[in-house]
Structure 1
Amino acid sequence: MNGSLIALFVWLLTANVLAMIPSKDNHWRRAYGLIGLGVPLLVWVFWENPVWVGLLALLAGMSVLRWPVIYLGRWVRRKAGL
C-alpha cells in the first residue's frame, strides 16, 4: 500500500470522526476543509494508482461529502438551464 492510499484512508477516517461531532453550522466549515485537503489528495491517488483506484477514491469522497455534491449538481443544472 503506497502513501497516497494511506493518506486517503486517514482522510476518510478523519471525515467520519468529524461527522460524528455536533456542529452549529451543519458541518459546512468542516466540509470546506475536507474538500480543500481532499482534492489534492485525490490528484495524488490518481497519480500513483490505476484509474479504477482513483475512481473508487472519488466515489468514497463523494459519499462522505454528499451534500456539497448535491448542491453542486443543483447549481450546475440551474446554470445550464435544465
Structure 2
Amino acid sequence: MSPSLILACLWALSANVIAMTPSKDYHWRNAYILIAIGIPILGYVTMQHGPWIGLLVLAGGCSVLRWPVIYLMRWLRRGAGRVEIKGPAE
C-alpha cells in the first residue's frame, strides 16, 4: 500500500476515534483540524493514484465530515458566494 493511502486510512481512523469522544462544541474544532490535515492528504492521494481514487477518498472524507459539508452546501445555495460587480461611480 502506498504512503498516501496509509495516511488517508490513518486520517479516517483518527476521525472515527475523535467522533467517539465527548465534546462540548459538538466536534467543530476537531472538524476544522481534520479538514486542514485532510486536504493535503487528499491532494497527495490524487497525485499518486489519479483523480478516481482521489474522488473515492474525497467521498469517504465527506461521509465522515458530513455536517461541515451540509453547512457549506446550504451557504452556497443561499447565495452567500455571489459577488456583485458594479460599474464606476457616476
Q: Which runs of 5+ in 1 are unaligned?
A: none
Equivalents in 1 of 2:42, 2:58: separation in Å? Answer: 7
Equivalent position SS for 1:25: coil
RMSD (Å) for aligned C-alpha atoms: 1.1
* CA drift at 1:51: 1.8
Equivalents in 2 of 1:66, 1:49: separation in Å? Answer: 24
Equivalent position SS for 1:29: helix
Equivalents in 2 of 1:69, 1:41: separation in Å? Answer: 18
- Letter aligned with residue 70 of structure 1: I
- The count of corresponding residues between Structure 1 and Structure 2 is 81
Equivalents in 2 of 1:45, 1:65: separation in Å? Answer: 18
Q: Which residue of 1 aligns with 2:27?
A: 27
Alignment of 1:6-17 (within 5 A): 6-17=6-17
TM-score scaled by length of structure 2: 0.86
Q: Which residue of 1 aligns with 2:67?
A: 67
1:37 aligns with 2:37: yes
Equivalents in 2 of 1:72, 1:62: separation in Å? Answer: 11
TM-score scaled by length of structure 1: 0.95
Structure having greater relative contact order (Cα 8 Å, sep ≥ 6): 1
* CA drift at 1:61: 0.1
Equivalent position SS for 2:38: helix
Q: Which runs of 5+ in 2 are unaligned?
A: 83-90
* CA drift at 1:50: 2.5
